A = this chain, B = another copy of it.
Amino acid sequence: MQVNRNRAQTIKLKNQPKIIGSYSIVGPKEGDGNFKNYFDYVMKEDHFGEDSFEKAERKMIENAITGVVQKAKLQPKDIDMMIAGDLLNQIISSSYAARAFEFPFLGVYGACSTMAESMAVASVLVDGGYCENVVCCTASHFSTAERQYRFPLELGNQRPPTAQWTVTGAGACVLSMNGQGPRVSSVTFGKVVDWGIRDVNNMGAAMAPAARHTLLSHFNNTKTSPEDYDLIVTGDLGKLGSEILIDLMEEEGVKLGLNYGDCGQMYFKRQQRTLCGGSGAGCCATVFNSFIMAKLRERQYKKVLFLPTGALLSTTSSQQGDTVPGVCHAIVVES
């Protein structure tokens, strides 16, 4: 352990758990986006044959977990633990999906940073020899998130230019002691940062300070700089938020160059009219577990710094006039 108090905490993993399988399932709009050729499954319609969007989100998680266990060439009985979370109140998509499986369930919540949180905890469990195979999963659904956090879908409310589009999708991976695949070499647990943003339609600005904090801590803790990575990729800061992060880092003397990207900003095509881009826990989860993992497997990327960000608000906190704190956890994956 590197002791770096008052900073985000970096844990170097001695045994470097392998990501032996990854799986992504997305909605039709996402399937038309920039990563269309990389997803494992594109749903024909957002209901996914269920009678509510919430049940569709749950089914995406069930299918992602079943799919990733198969892709990892394992049986469900080989899985020691499932770590998952999502954006719905009481993370019901994950909890209810967990009923379908015989392995223990650990529910985590870090809003759109949840994929990193589940992978970070899984990495420690595997690295320390406590578990052999752990499945991590995160999801979001445009229609469940929109109606829970913002407005009824039927209202057809106008979206401000800073708005992002919640990705309908679930991403899952299996971390293992054994087998072949890209390795998790370190994880950095971030702290909660709040710079006073109150606009719930500007999540990128709310989360950028947390990304800045974790990124600076991570570089400091690991004695690395942006050039050491083939890809530095934040979760869903979106177009505006990722520009803010670039500016904030430049103020600190750290230049994020062409190897920096943001999953939300890259997700959709311009003509798909998502304004500032994709968002939601499923955004970076589906990009990581499709495109990024493919490039790591092909060794086109040798070292990736994956930084999902989360905005930790609720409708209650917004209605009570609270600002929006952010959090960001980082994972280093090497091929």
Give Cα distance in the complex from A184 to B77, angstroms.
Answer: 27
Please give the distance in Å from A140's CB to the nearest CB on chain B.
Answer: 13
CB of A291 closer than 8 Å to a CB of B: no
CB of A219 closer than 8 Å to a CB of B: no
CB of A322 closer than 8 Å to a CB of B: yes
Closest to A11 in B: B130
Complex contacts, A81 vs chain B, CB 8 Å: 9, 189
B312-A5 in contact (CB<8A): no
Contact with B along A172-212 (1 / 0, CB 8 A): 00000000000000000111111000000000000000000
Complex contacts, A222 vs chain B, CB 8 Å: none
A6-B132 in contact (CB<8A): no
CB within 8 Å of B: which of A100-136? 101-111, 117, 121, 124-125, 127-132
Give Cα distance in the complex from A189 to B80, angstroms.
Answer: 10
Give Cα distance in the complex from A272 to B198, angstroms.
Answer: 41
Given contacts A107-B117, A132-B3, contact A90 B124 (CB under 8 A): no
CB within 8 Å of B: which of A310-328? 312-317, 320, 322, 325, 327
Complex contacts, A11 vs chain B, CB 8 Å: 130
B109-A1 in contact (CB<8A): no
CB of A85 closer than 8 Å to a CB of B: yes
- How many residues on chain A are close to B (CB under 8 Å)? 64
Complex contacts, A105 vs chain B, CB 8 Å: 189-192, 327
B132-A99 in contact (CB<8A): no
A104-B9 in contact (CB<8A): yes
Give Cα distance in the complex from A6 to B189, angstroms.
Answer: 30
B148-A191 in contact (CB<8A): no
B90-A54 in contact (CB<8A): no
CB of A332 closer than 8 Å to a CB of B: no
CB of A255 closer than 8 Å to a CB of B: no
Give Cα distance in the complex from A148 to B189, angstroms.
Answer: 30
B104-A106 in contact (CB<8A): no
Please give the distance in Å from A235's CB to the nearest CB on chain B.
Answer: 15
Given contacts A90-B109, A101-B191, A125-B124, contact A52 B320 (CB under 8 A): yes
B316-A99 in contact (CB<8A): no
CB of A36 closer than 8 Å to a CB of B: no
CB of A66 closer than 8 Å to a CB of B: no
B5-A316 in contact (CB<8A): no
Given contacts A88-B314, A92-B314, contact A1 B129 (CB under 8 A): yes
Please give the distance in Å from A107's CB to the nearest CB on chain B.
Answer: 4
CB of A244 closer than 8 Å to a CB of B: no
CB of A91 closer than 8 Å to a CB of B: yes
18 further A-B contacts with Cβ under 8 Å, apart from A96-B192, A99-B192, are A5-B79, A6-B77, A11-B130, A89-B314, A89-B316, A90-B109, A91-B109, A95-B325, A95-B327, A96-B325, A98-B327, A104-B191, A105-B191, A105-B327, A107-B110, A124-B125, A124-B130, A128-B128
